[in-house]
């Protein structure tokens, strides 16, 4: 269970982001939705302990999030890659950071996302879409309990998108939590089980029919 209690973050003088309490339970795929600049990426960084909140608590299964980093996978909107490594070297490096010494999970993900044909290419020589897939695989190493994806659909091809949806559904069945931020409402509609809308610095957890998300989005943000 992921619990956010009265989280607030001031990211510029006099400007605060206040997030009402919300909870993601085991098996949830929770989407963070809002216009550009609403604070979606900031919230995800707080959940991953990349940024610290000014007030409030972020807990994973009752523990402060900073004590749970080995249970978190994170895909930032702009991936952090080491360009002088090849894809496979980079993924092994990430595994090492997570104290993982066997690479069956990496090999399986490389095959699943069709990265094997350029796994030995240096990252600096890959296209943006290829780099995004490598970063996505990096976030999935170790099958994390909490997976946080910031705009995961940006720059990926249709087949990768289909496979990502399938993988997220399988994670949900296994009781794992996924938090996604996306401006692609069709993607949200097809994968999310819950939606948090961010408007005017406040996060609102809505219990909605996902098939009506486009109409609700227009109603909230028009």
Q: For residue range 91-133, list pLDDT tens digits in order.
A: 999 999 988 888 889 999 999 999 999 999 999 999 999 999 9
3-state secondary structure of 190: helix
Rounded mean pLDDT, 151-169: 94
Q: Two tokens at 130?
A: 């290829």
Q: Is the pLDDT of residue 68 over 80?
A: yes
Structurally, the chain folds into a number of domains equal to 1
What angle do the packed helices 87-97 and 128-140 form, to 10 degrees?
Answer: 30
Look at the pTM and tell me if it is higher than 0.85.
yes
Print the domain residue range for 180.
Answer: 2-221
User: Which tokens belong to 35?
Assistant: 């216009």
| Pairing verdict, β 2-12 and 22-24 | antiparallel
Which among 71, 181, 93 has a CA at the least distance from the CA of 138? 93
Q: Tens digit of pLDDT for each residue in 199-217?
A: 877 877 777 788 888 888 8
Encoded tokens for 102: 């066997």
- The more confident residue out of 7 and 18 is 7
State the CATH number of the domain containing residue 81: 3.40.50.300
């Amino acid at each position: 269970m992921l619990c956010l209690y009265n989280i607030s973050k001031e990211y510029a003088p006099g400007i605060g982001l206040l997030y009402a309490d919300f909870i993601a339970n085991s098996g949830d795929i929770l989407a963070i939705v809002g216009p550009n600049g609403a604070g979606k990426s900031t919230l995800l960084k707080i959940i991953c302990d990349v940024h610290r909140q000014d007030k409030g608590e972020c807990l994973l299964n009752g523990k402060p999030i900073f004590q749970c980093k080995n249970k978190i996978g994170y895909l930032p909107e702009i991936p952090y890659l080491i360009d002088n490594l090849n894809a496979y070297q980079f993924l092994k490096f990430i595994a090492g950071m997570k104290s993982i010494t066997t690479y069956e999970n990496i090999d399986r993900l490389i095959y699943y996302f069709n990265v094997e044909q350029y796994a030995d290419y240096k990252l600096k020589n890959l296209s943006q879409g290829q780099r995004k897939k490598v970063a996505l695989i990096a976030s999935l190493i170790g099958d994390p309990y909490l997976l946080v994806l910031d705009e995961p659909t940006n720059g990926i091809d249709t087949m990768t998108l289909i496979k990502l949806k399938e993988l997220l559904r399988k994670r949900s069945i296994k009781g794992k939590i996924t938090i996604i931020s996306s401006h692609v409402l069709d993607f949200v509609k097809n994968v999310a089980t819950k939606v948090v809308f961010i408007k005017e610095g406040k996060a609102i957890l809505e219990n909605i029919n996902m098939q009506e998300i486009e109409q609700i989005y227009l109603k909230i943000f028009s």
